[in-house]
A and B are shown apart, each in its own frame.
Chain A
Amino acid sequence: MKAILKNQKNRIFSLSVIVMSVIFAGIFMQSCESNSFLSETDSSEHLSEIELITKSAEFENYIIAATGLQQALKTFEKEFAIVDFANLETVIENGKKVKYLPATIRSLNIDGKIILTNEKKEALLNKYPQLLTLNLPDFANYINNCVKQSIRVNEFFLDEKINIYQPSLKSVTSEYGFNNMSQLVGYLYNWTFMPNYVEVIVVIFSDGTSLAVLDSNNTANYSEINIRTLGNSHYYNGKRISEITHTHRGSYSPSSADLQAKNSNPYCSWSIFYNGAFYYY
């Protein structure tokens, strides 16, 4: 009798789990459909235009050149951090003493890559001037479309060992630590010239260290961060914050959202990093 009851309980339990799984799967699928509906509706009217542009050789060339530059800048950042400036290669050229950066940096040919990227960008915009009217999320959509279907772009990624799916394997928020102000300023200055620039927020802690926080929701004109408050102090990762800054490329003026952020969180300083300097507001 007990065995029958236990058997029945197990059946009811299994049935409940299955029914609930089906319900949640249904809700999830409905949500997915709704989300895909949103993006489809949003892009349907420009579908033919997107296809035309993203399948063009000009767009492929631009992505390849811009990615090459981005990779070179990343390598430059890593190599530059370990340069021993006291022992640079010194030569006498035309009677003048010239110090050279290591060959690993010189061989990156960043100047050439910048010129190439600008040439490709110009060629692209000459052919498709309507791209100038796109905002960053829309332009990112064009890039995604091209990356998805272009064999040339994907071959380039494979050759350069670039894993475009890597960001989705990481946590949503990326963080980069700095031990002093000159490191931080150097990083931010280079960051604002990146071809794939998005706003970055820097948290400066009361112990003098700082952390660049990059949320996957950030765009070229939007950024966000989650902090905690205890008493009269704000905290990030358990460390007390003395200042929060974020990057601008347009101007040093705070937007209404910037002012709102400051007014709602009054226990630290607030600034904007623009054109190599911090502007307090």
Chain B
Amino acid sequence: MKKAIFLVTVTIVGCQIASSQKADHVKGGRFLKRIEYNVTGQGMTEVDNMYNLDGKSILDRILFGSINSPVEFVFSGSSEGNDEILAFRITKNSRMDSYRLEIMRMPDVKKVYNAINFLSTKVNKIVIPPELIQTISLEGRELINEHNKAVDSVKRSDDSYKPYRSESKTFRISNEFVEKLHGKMAALIDNFKAIGIPPIAFDGYEVTFRTVVENEVWSLKIHMPQKNALLMANLCRQIIMDADINKPDETKYIELLEEMDFKNHL
């Protein structure tokens, strides 16, 4: 009997060890994994489609406008440390036969967050609790109504976000590199598993991986990534840094992607 209990205990402990070894994120920072429709309204052509932007933050909208590109990446530092926002996306050209890499760098995180705070007042509705509504003048209530009516179109339009967008650099890239990066990023999001309870974390940085898979848009936002997610984040940052000095090296990236220890999704 004692031996049986011992065996069961060993099995449970072993399984716990095994599962924690396999998880991508062990007692790590906050994360959000989101899968949803990519397009919510069909346009006359693919360019005119209404993309599902529900999962995009104000920062994502500043960086990427109103479309979901096949691959998107955002690195968001804090004023205490890596004080900048880095981002790239991979877009198809208008003839749909080749791809382009577009990178962006926005220094001074505090300045960007001030812009985000300002925009959040423009793109969010004002909700007043019923017990306080009487304390607001009729004119005030009308202004709030007008603001709330305008929010949906302001939120949808790129005009609100465009003034804060930084200049970007664009490079033509090979289909092979796009396929490899897209496949690995999709696999990372698909297989991502977290274990434990997150600590209370201060400062650090956050990354967002986003990719379009058939009719869905998959995104994974992580504060302080670990293991495979950290590896992918480092590669994505490397791509941006290299491209920023006009030296993107696809051969090196393809090698690193091939060495990544997780299966291609597609």
Chain A residues engaging chain B, CB cutoff 8 angstroms: 13, 16-17, 20, 23-24, 27-28, 30-31, 34-35, 37-38, 41-42, 45, 135-136, 199, 201, 215, 219-227, 244, 246, 248-251, 253, 255-258, 260-261, 264-265
Known: A255-B79, A255-B80. 13 other contacts (CB 8 A): A20-B11, A24-B14, A27-B21, A199-B80, A199-B202, A222-B204, A250-B83, A255-B202, A257-B201, A257-B203, A257-B223, A260-B30, A264-B200
* Cβ contact within 8 Å between A221 and B200: no
Which residues of chain A have C-beta atoms less than 8 A from B95's C-beta?
none
* Cβ contact within 8 Å between B82 and A261: no
Chain A residue at minimum C-beta to C-beta distance from B231? A38
B46 on interface, CB distance cutoff 8 Å: no
* Cβ contact within 8 Å between B81 and A221: yes
* Cβ contact within 8 Å between A224 and B7: no
Which residues of chain A have C-beta atoms less than 8 A from B130's C-beta?
none
* Cβ contact within 8 Å between B201 and A220: no
Which residues of chain A have C-beta atoms less than 8 A from B199's C-beta?
215, 224-226
* Cβ contact within 8 Å between B18 and A222: no
Shortest C-beta distance, B28 to chain A (Å), equals: 9
B195 on interface, CB distance cutoff 8 Å: no
* Cβ contact within 8 Å between A31 and B204: no
* Cβ contact within 8 Å between A38 and B7: no
Which residues of chain B have C-beta atoms less than 8 A from A253's C-beta?
79, 110
* Cβ contact within 8 Å between B227 and A223: no
Docked complex Cα distance between A215 and B113 (Å): 28
Docked complex Cα distance between A37 and B256 (Å): 11
Shortest C-beta distance, B237 to chain A (Å), equals: 10
Residue A221 contacts which of B29, B30, B203, B206 (CB distance < 8 angstroms)?
B203
Which residues of chain B have C-beta atoms less than 8 A from A257's C-beta?
29, 78, 201-204, 206, 223
Given contacts A16-B7, A20-B10, A41-B231, contact A220 B81 (CB under 8 A): yes
Docked complex Cα distance between A219 and B109 (Å): 19
* Cβ contact within 8 Å between B200 and A13: no
- The size bracket of the interface on B is 35 or more
Most buried by B among A45, A135, A255: A255
* Cβ contact within 8 Å between B224 and A222: yes
* Cβ contact within 8 Å between B113 and A256: yes
Which residues of chain B have C-beta atoms less than 8 A from A20's C-beta?
10-11, 14
B187 on interface, CB distance cutoff 8 Å: no
Shortest C-beta distance, A79 to chain B (Å), equals: 31
Given contacts A13-B3, A37-B261, A249-B80, contact A255 B10 (CB under 8 A): no
* Cβ contact within 8 Å between B201 and A222: yes
Residue B259 contacts which of A37, A224, A246, A256 (CB distance < 8 angstroms)?
A37
B17 on interface, CB distance cutoff 8 Å: yes
Q: Contact string, B101-115, partner A, CB cutoff 8 A, digits 1/0?
A: 000000001100100
Given contacts A28-B17, A41-B259, A255-B78, contact A222 B7 (CB under 8 A): no
Which residues of chain A have C-beta atoms less than 8 A from B30's C-beta?
260
* Cβ contact within 8 Å between B231 and A225: no
Which residues of chain A have C-beta atoms less than 8 A from B113's C-beta?
256
* Cβ contact within 8 Å between A223 and B201: yes
Docked complex Cα distance between A101 and B199 (Å): 43
* Cβ contact within 8 Å between B203 and A258: yes
Name 15 A/B residue pairs within 8 A (Cβ), A-sorted.
A16-B7, A20-B10, A23-B14, A41-B256, A41-B260, A201-B202, A221-B82, A221-B203, A222-B204, A224-B200, A224-B202, A226-B197, A255-B203, A257-B203, A264-B200
Shortest C-beta distance, B29 to chain A (Å), equals: 8
* Cβ contact within 8 Å between B10 and A221: no
Q: Contact string, B72-109, partner A, CB cutoff 8 A, digits 1/0?
A: 00001011111100000000000000000000000001
Q: Contact string, B169-199, partner A, CB cutoff 8 A, digits 1/0?
A: 0000000000000000000000000000101
* Cβ contact within 8 Å between B7 and A13: yes
Which residues of chain B have C-beta atoms less than 8 A from A34's C-beta?
227, 261
Which residues of chain B have C-beta atoms less than 8 A from A251's C-beta?
79-80, 110
* Cβ contact within 8 Å between B78 and A256: yes
Shortest C-beta distance, A12 to chain B (Å), equals: 10
Shortest C-beta distance, B118 to chain A (Å), equals: 15
* Cβ contact within 8 Å between A28 and B81: no
* Cβ contact within 8 Å between B78 and A31: no
Shortest C-beta distance, A136 to chain B (Å), equals: 8
